[in-house]
Structure 1
Amino acid sequence: MKSIPISLTCLLTLAGCQAVPDRLPQAEPAPAAACYFPTSAEGALKTSVDVLIEEGFTLSSTDTTLGLISASRERALQGYYDPYDNAYGYGRGMRVFGGLGFGRGGSGVGIGLGGIGFGGGVGQQPVEVERVSLLVSDAHIRISRDIRRFDHVGDLRESYSASNADFCQRFQTSFEQRVPATRTPL
């Protein structure tokens, strides 16, 4: 009988521990029903762009053949508290060369500095970036929105889907106010 090497046995054991996800990734929470609404307006793509610009968004990209619009806006977060900022007990966001370390060996004391940059984030503001994507067709508009929050050093701290009914209803109301009423001949 042939012997099986230990590394192969360990590999087979670990392969048996692999878990397959029970579902594909999805937006959590799911987009609100108000984020998908019918439209029969001519020039819906241009009207959607106008509404986004009026709301303070900057266009990131558009594809008129697909009817896709991507836009974003950002705002400074005054007094944003980062729950992870002081998680390990070293300073409220103070970074010197990316990190600071102290050590004590058998008969001596050492200090080490590592990383790149000095005092990253000093004087910078935490920001919130809101991204919106619209899919505009002849029959309907679909809205997708997400929000990301970055701390004062530019590290991502929060990210979530924000396709809620409030935002989508406000967009729909602004959109419908800009679209001229269609009249049927008598």
Structure 2
Amino acid sequence: MKLTPFSFVCLLALGGCQAVPSSLPRAEPPPAAACYFPIDAPSTLTASVDVLTEWGFSLDASDTNLGLLSASRTQELHGYSDLYASPRFRSGSALHLFGGLGIGGGTRLGIGLGGGFGQPPIEVERVSLLWDQRHMRVSRDIRRFDQYGSLREGRSASTESFCQRLQHALSAQTATGDRTP
């Protein structure tokens, strides 16, 4: 196929329509000030592991040299299948079976045999703790996936209430740990 000057100009024009982001991604909303607080460094790792596992998190990674701990927990979102369903299957009189096989109201018939069998939508909450000798920084995010495993929502969740609750639990855990012989 020979490239003519006109098709070359059209190709360059279409390439120029490519959108470039005007800024780098950032946490929205920004982390709360309470997510950076003073700590007692020697017992931080064990206290953090104890508190997060007590809250239902599983450890993903830790590095004591870097002062990093990462944990996550997953929960099923019952009732979210209809929210994330395809709009053509979302009529009030529709029958949905197996997450992707459905018969709509009226004369519509739709069959979608995707990979959503037996997989409810889930929410994944991830917490990362980064500490040095005197301070800890908490980063938390929440992501929601639909019944097909596609990311539907994601947000920063480093809120003041979560960070204050974590700080209080860490203080209580280290105080309890110090009293044990």
TM-score (norm. length: structure 1):
0.73
Pick aligned residue for 1:141 from 136, 148, 165 = 136
Structure 1, unpaired ranges of 5+: 101-112, 182-186
The CA RMSD over aligned residues, in Å, is 3.0
Pick one of 117, 122, 128 that aligns with 1:121: 117
How far the C-alpha of 1:82 sits from its partner, in A, is 4.4
Q: Which runs of 5+ in 2 are unaligned?
A: 104-110, 177-181
2:80 maps to 1:72: no
Hey, what does 1:107 align to over in structure 2? none
What is the match of residue 106 of structure 2?
none
- Structure 2 vs 1, CA of residues 14 and 134 (structure 1 numbering), >3 Å: closer, same or farther? same
Deviation at 1:155, TM superposition (A): 3.4
The aligned counterpart of 1:160 is 155
Is the deviation greater in 12-21 or in 33-42?
12-21
Residue 12 of structure 1 is matched in structure 2 by: 12
Where 2:88 maps in the other structure, the secondary structure is: coil
Q: For residues 37-186 of structure 1, what are the structure 2 equivalents within 5 Å? A: 37-80=37-80, 82-89=82-89, 92=96, 94-96=99-101, 120-122=116-118, 124-180=119-175
- Answer whether contact 1:32 1:165 (CA < 8 A) is retained: yes
Which shifted more, 39-48 or 55-64? 39-48
**Can you list the C-alpha shifts for 1:25-80, whole angstroms capped at 9, x where unaligned?**
11111111111112244221222111111111100111111111110111222333
Structure whose CA Rg is larger: 1
Write the distance in 1 (CA, Å) between the matches of 2:139 and 2:73. Answer: 14
Count residues with an aligned counterpart.
163
Distance 1:45 1:132, change over 3 A: same
